[in-house]
């Protein structure tokens, strides 16, 4: 299918929005080119609750979550990954509710830093986050009237996880799949090979709806994700064509490939190009004089 993004979304700041039976979406007022209208938190359950992705350390959002919780017990806080727009509020929410904080694990890069490399994404990482309990792939956490299974989806970050609400066909896809835009995959925190493998894994599932970390739901998941996979393959092909045409550096490729993209996103676009180049180098289709780097020189393998 042709990939069509859905940007029709009303965040309804300051309130809970019902998106499925016993599932409320609460959106933080932190809009940006990277977060769309803001980060989505989800409150799951009726009597004893779970919260998925509490969000950034934001006083107003904490109060909105507490208002939506309305004094009911919260047994678990699930965290999909450790970017600062998703995980930092977990500590304060735990303090206020006594909930157990669960996630794949602390923040870590998808690969070690190369010699002389700096991590352009350091500021976005919540390196202080440590879950009370780590969630291996397939872990089932049963609550009061709900059960949530962990589906590990590395790629956007090394510790990224989606959460399936058992028996409903609903998957909380966080930043791996979103209806409004493609996910950023940026080394060293993310890895394109991991992202594509995780995408294939979700395509094989039979979910009927994805509830993402930003924007509205994905209502035809398998078809949308196939389109997303095709989009990524086309981007890979465009990068390979630029290398074969003589572009040797990432900024030159970004200027050509992302000429119609908001310039504020060109830095992230460069990291996305690097993620593809890392994968192309690993597959023997492109070469570079050292480890793939944002300031490296890339040549085609004839």
pLDDT band at 20 (very low <50, low <70, confident <90, very high): very high
Q: Using one digit for the tens of pLDDT, what is the confidence trace for 22-76? A: 999 999 999 998 999 999 999 999 999 999 999 999 999 999 999 999 999 999 9
Does residue 7 fall inside a structural domain?
no
Which residue, 197, 226, 255, sits at the end of a domain?
Answer: 226
Distance between CA atoms of residues 85 and 301, nearest Å? 39
Helix axes 221-245, 250-257, angle to 10 degrees: 120
Question: What's the pLDDT score for residue 162?
Answer: 98
Over residues 114-137, the mean pLDDT reads 89
Residue 120 buriedness (CB in 10 A; 0-12 / 13-18 / 19+): middle
DSSP string, 123-147: GGB-TT---SEE--TT-EEE-SS-E
For the domain that residue 65 is a member of, what is the CATH number? Answer: 3.60.15.10
Do the domain assignments include residue 184?
yes
Whether the ω angle into residue 183 lies within 30 degrees of 0, i.e. cis, is no
H-helix or E-strand spanning residue 282: helix 266-282
Query: Domain range for residue 261?
Result: 246-298
Instruction: Note if the pTM is more than 0.75.
Output: yes
Residue 187, class by beta-carbon neighbours within 10 Å (0-12 exposed, 13-18 middle, 19+ buried)?
buried
Do residues 218 and 262 both lie within one domain? no
Q: Is there a single domain that holds both residue 157 and residue 281?
A: no
pLDDT score, position 2: 66
Tokens 């992705």 correspond to what residue? 53
Structure tokens at 284: 């023997």
3-state SS class at 253: helix
The answer to whether 221 and 210 are in contact (CB under 8 A) is: yes
Q: Do 113 and 211 lie in a common domain?
A: yes
Band (pLDDT 50/70/90 cuts) for residue 121 is confident
Computed over every residue of the chain, the mean pLDDT equals 95
Has residue 119 got a pLDDT over 90?
A: no
pLDDT on residue 254 = 95
Domain count, the chain: 2
Q: Which residue, 192, 226, 260, sits at the end of a domain?
A: 226
Confidence of residue 261 (pLDDT cuts 50, 70, 90): confident
Report the pLDDT averaged over residues 174-196. Answer: 96
Give CA–CA dist 130/140, Å, rounded.
Answer: 20
> How many other C-beta atoms are found inside a 10 Å radius of the C-beta of residue 35?
21
Is it the case that residue 85 has pLDDT exceeding 90? Answer: yes
Q: pLDDT for 192-243, tens place per residue?
A: 999 999 999 999 999 999 999 999 999 999 999 999 999 999 999 999 999 9
End-to-end CA distance of the chain: 32
Structure tokens at 117: 């490399």
């Amino acid at each position: 299918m042709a990939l069509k993004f859905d940007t029709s979304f009303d965040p309804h700041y300051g309130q809970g929005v019902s998106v499925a039976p016993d599932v409320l979406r609460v959106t933080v007022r932190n809009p940006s080119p990277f977060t769309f209208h803001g980060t989505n938190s989800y409150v799951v359950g009726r009597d004893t609750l779970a919260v998925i992705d509490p969000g950034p350390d934001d006083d107003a959002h904490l109060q909105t979550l507490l208002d939506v919780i309305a004094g009911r017990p919260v047994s678990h806080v699930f965290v999909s990954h450790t970017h600062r727009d998703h995980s930092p509020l977990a500590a304060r929410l735990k303090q206020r509710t006594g909930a157990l904080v669960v996630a794949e694990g602390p923040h870590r890069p998808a690969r070690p830093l190369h010699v002389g490399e700096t991590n352009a994404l350091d500021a976005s990482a919540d390196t202080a986050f440590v879950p009370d309990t780590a969630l291996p792939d397939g872990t089932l956490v049963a609550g009061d009237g709900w059960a949530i299974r962990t589906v590990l989806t590395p790629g956007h970050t090394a510790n990224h996880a989606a959460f399936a609400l058992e028996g409903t066909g609903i998957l909380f896809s966080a930043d791996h799949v979103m209806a409004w835009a493609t996910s950023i995959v940026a080394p060293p925190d993310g890895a394109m090979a991991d992202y594509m493998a995780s995408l294939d894994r979700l395509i094989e599932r039979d979910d009927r709806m994805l509830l993402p970390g930003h924007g509205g739901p994905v209502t035809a998941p398998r078809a949308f994700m196939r389109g997303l996979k095709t989009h990524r393959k086309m981007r890979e092909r465009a990068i390979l064509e630029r290398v074969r045409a003589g572009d040797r550096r990432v900024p030159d490729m970004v200027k050509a490939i992302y000429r119609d993209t908001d310039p504020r996103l060109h830095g992230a676009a460069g990291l996305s190009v690097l993620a593809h180049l890392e994968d192309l180098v690993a597959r023997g289709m492109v070469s570079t004089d050292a480890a793939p780097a944002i300031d490296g020189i890339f040549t085609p393998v004839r």
